[in-house]
Structure 1
């Protein structure tokens, strides 16, 4: 709704001006315009991972450099007076050597891992800061904060804050179809996994274990149960599409009989076949 951001969708404004407007937008009908403002949104999750994606637009280089991060911030970055992206590694600001363009929309992706205590930062789908140590040792995430110290307007649009994988156009530095966050979490680096490499999971490749959502290092079979005739139930993985297929026997081709998208985790077969075989094929949405 056009007007102050205060109270809209759980956002609060601590200072300055932040309004929802429809003149400058990245997608859809509205975007947030900020000027010398700080906005915050509560986050509640028991998961140890966090994904944040948003689009931002600025008209000029900032006039001032932030002096320090706010207390208890785990991951933070800002745009410097030379337009370079500066990210915090521990509590130390590091110039990543990549400039944010002006007068155009730029997409940012953050991945925070509170098991490994590291985070990734990506710009327009390319990771520019990887395996950065979090600023604090705390593992409780309770707030997302966006701040603009300048009098000139900054714009924010298409903001997602999720405690599960955001797979669409996920940053993938080496282009192997395995996102950077998964390689970092499982192999310790964003280019450390070989997609075609054989995992310890029933001979599946590392790429296949990512798609299926199973452990690449141990036998972790995909759970697929049939509590009663024609009823299929499985453990659904975020950002996945499931193609349910059937064949009367294993010598004939399987045919697709339906598709299910996460978070749904079941399928009811309305046909009355006395016998046959089901197969589930998984793809990333």
Structure 2
């Protein structure tokens, strides 16, 4: 309630989000909330609650209290989340915390100063060092015997305040299926007991802020 700026003594005072549509063609979805001074808002979207949320807009500052999604059609399936942060946590509203910017000397969320293919925002979310080209989020795959069957074990480095999801595919061109979502620190591995280790398998680990 402190972060949201609501009254903890009033049960009718809580942070909530509403949606509306624009009048133009094609119509777009408008996400609305009650903005409070000293807060920064990030708008996230996902096509399914089984998929991680992806940022649409970060660093929205008071008094702005809405965001119009011009990316996704009104008739498409989707879910929105608005994340509230204290402004002194991220004073410039770019999605990177102040102490992280101070530690690494980086303030552009979309810069890739170490040329490892991951921008600063991605490195912050994954817990990597944005100034070290050898530091980036990755996963490894090993074998383990479970009930007499060889299974793939996918491992990664996890950090607090993140959520991890595991996806699987037999073909990189056919898309990935979700195996598990909302895995939290300190868990840093997933054993796939569904698919036989002898079959062709590709795994993807997605990470998002909790």
Structure 1: how far apart are the matches of 2:136 and 2:115? 7
TM-score by length of 2: 0.52
Structure 1: how far apart are the matches of 2:119 and 2:158? 20
Structure 2: how far apart are the matches of 1:169 and 1:208? 18
Aligned to 1:261: 184
SS in 2 for 1:256: strand
The number of residues matched between the two structures is 123
Structure 1: how far apart are the matches of 2:97 and 2:39? 10
SS in 2 for 1:246: strand
Structure 2: how far apart are the matches of 1:203 and 1:230? 27
Structure 2: how far apart are the matches of 1:240 and 1:209? 13
Structure 2: how far apart are the matches of 1:208 and 1:272? 30
The 8 Å contact of residues 125 and 208 in structure 2, kept in 1 or not, is answered as: yes
Give 5+ residue unaligned stretches, structure 2.
1-6, 10-36, 41-82, 144-150
SS in 2 for 1:225: strand
Aligned to 1:225: 140
The 8 Å contact of residues 196 and 205 in structure 1, kept in 2 or not, is answered as: yes
TM superposition shift of 1:169: 3.2
Structure 2: how far apart are the matches of 1:168 and 1:279? 28
The 8 Å contact of residues 118 and 136 in structure 2, kept in 1 or not, is answered as: no
2:167 matches 1:249: no
Query: Could you say if the C-alpha distance between residues 255 and 247 of structure 1 is closer, same or farther in structure 2, counting changes exceeding 3 Å?
Result: same
SS in 1 for 2:107: coil
Structure 2: how far apart are the matches of 1:178 and 1:235? 20
Structure 2: how far apart are the matches of 1:284 and 1:258? 16
TM superposition shift of 1:276: 1.2
Structure 2: how far apart are the matches of 1:212 and 1:201? 16
Give 5+ residue unaligned stretches, structure 1.
1-24, 28-122, 127-166
SS in 1 for 2:203: strand
TM superposition shift of 1:249: 1.2
Q: Counterparts in 2 of 1:169-188, with a 5 A limit? A: 169=85, 171-187=89-105
SS in 2 for 1:236: coil
Query: Could you say if the C-alpha distance between residues 168 and 233 of structure 1 is closer, same or farther in structure 2, counting changes exceeding 3 Å?
Result: farther
2:124 matches 1:202: no
SS in 2 for 1:182: helix
TM superposition shift of 1:284: 0.6
Structure 1: how far apart are the matches of 2:99 and 2:166? 28
